[in-house]
């Protein structure tokens, strides 16, 4: 498919750990990095590699509008990213791999057909000893919708991470599933102040089944059947990302606003619209907001 089409120009919005991870994955495509922290970035995936890529700060002009925007900002920067897209890339295909739900609404007035909301279970974190270094903890799986848009074809060429092309219906289910996993792992690890892999031995982990139940009831009321073995799949993700410090704990440790509103807050709001009680999720929103206002 790619042979017949020109190489798309890619812009990565965001300069946090996940954005740097994807910059490394796509380095041969020389993506433009847009955000607050200019390269070079040091990536550690067993061995260290220094990554130097073209960069623009949010307010800088750019020479060519990108064909594809890979949106990897945190929610706290989403307004800036949306304004950048509307100003400099209004016709680009926007692929988001952010945590949480509600990206399409948050990106309005960008038309929904221009937005591809995928998910990734890749895990990357800043090195505690040197914040300039990003440690890749798990390459995970990345799910994207099976669309015929040729601008997405470059994902097919990637040897790693695993890209799984799924139907829009399956992707919808997987987005809910990932939301639920984040609603358990992220706030509990932030409160327990431990890497994902230590969570199952922490007393707070006893809340995990009830959190999954609340999330599952909200998903069902929203028309999404999440299927079997959620507890086992949650356990698998914790194990796969055991060395990782969750993105929420990374934020809390840096005193930055977290994504709790887009994760557990989303479940609370959806639950209240649909008459599903979510007391535990609500409590976690309050606790995390008190920890990282
Ligand atoms: O999505 C993540 C996050 O930290 O935000 C996981 C997959 C749980 C990895 O830590």
pLDDT tens digits, residue range 120-131? 999 999 888 888
- For ligand 1, whether the C-beta of 250 sits within 6 Å is no
Return the percent helix, strand and coil in the chain, to nearest 5.
45, 20, 35
pLDDT at 5: 60
pLDDT in tens, 213-272: 999 999 999 999 998 899 999 999 999 999 999 999 999 999 999 999 999 999 999 999
Tell me how far the alpha carbon of residue 182 lies from the centroid of ligand 1, in angstroms. 6
With CA atoms as reference, report the closest residue to 126 among 11, 246, 291, 31. Answer: 246
Nearest CA to ligand 1 atom 7: 121
Distance of CA 18 to the CA centre of its chain: 8
- Total count of residues recorded for the chain: 293
125 lines ligand 1 (CB under 6 A): no
pLDDT confidence tier of residue 4, bands split at 50, 70 and 90: low
Q: Where are the beta strands (DSSP E) in the chain?
A: 10-13, 32-35, 41-44, 48-51, 55-57, 68-71, 93-96, 115-117, 119-120, 123-127, 130-138, 141-145, 162-166
CA of 63 to the centre of ligand 1 (A): 34
37 burial level (CB within 10 Å; 0-12, 13-18, 19+): middle
CA of 91 to the centre of ligand 1 (A): 30
In this predicted structure, what is the pLDDT of residue 142? 94
Residue from 183, 196, 243 whose mutation best tests the ligand 1 pocket (most atoms within 8 A of CB): 196
């Amino acid at each position: 498919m790619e042979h017949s089409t020109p190489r798309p120009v890619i812009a990565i919005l965001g300069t946090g750990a996940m954005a740097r991870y994807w910059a490394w994955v796509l380095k041969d495509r020389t993506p433009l990095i847009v955000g607050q922290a200019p390269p070079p970035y040091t990536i550690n995936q067993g061995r260290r590699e220094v990554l130097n890529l073209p960069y623009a700060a949010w307010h800088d002009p750019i020479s060519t509008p990108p064909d594809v925007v890979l949106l990897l900002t945190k929610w706290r920067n989403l307004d800036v990213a949306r304004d950048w897209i509307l100003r400099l890339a209004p016709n680009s295909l926007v692929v988001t791999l952010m945590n949480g739900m509600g990206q399409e609404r948050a990106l309005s007035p960008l038309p929904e057909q221009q937005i591809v909301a995928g998910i990734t279970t890749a895990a990357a974190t800043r090195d505690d000893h040197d914040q300039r270094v990003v440690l890749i903890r798990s390459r995970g799986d990345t799910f994207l919708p099976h669309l015929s848009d040729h601008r997405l074809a470059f994902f097919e060429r990637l040897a790693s991470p695993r890209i799984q092309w799924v139907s829009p219906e399956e992707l919808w289910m997987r987005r809910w599933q990932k939301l639920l996993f984040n609603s358990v792992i992220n706030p509990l690890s932030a409160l327990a102040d431990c890497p994902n892999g230590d969570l199952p031995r922490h007393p707070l982990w006893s809340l995990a089944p009830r959190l999954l139940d609340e999330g599952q009831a909200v998903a069902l009321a929203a028309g999404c059947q999440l299927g079997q073995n959620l507890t086992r799949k949650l356990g698998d993700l914790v194990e796969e990302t055991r060395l990782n410090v969750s993105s929420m704990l990374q934020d809390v440790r840096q005193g930055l606003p977290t994504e709790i509103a887009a994760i557990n807050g989303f479940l609370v709001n959806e639950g209240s619209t649909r008459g599903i009680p979510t007391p535990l999720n609500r409590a976690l929103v309050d606790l995390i907001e008190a920890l990282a206002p």
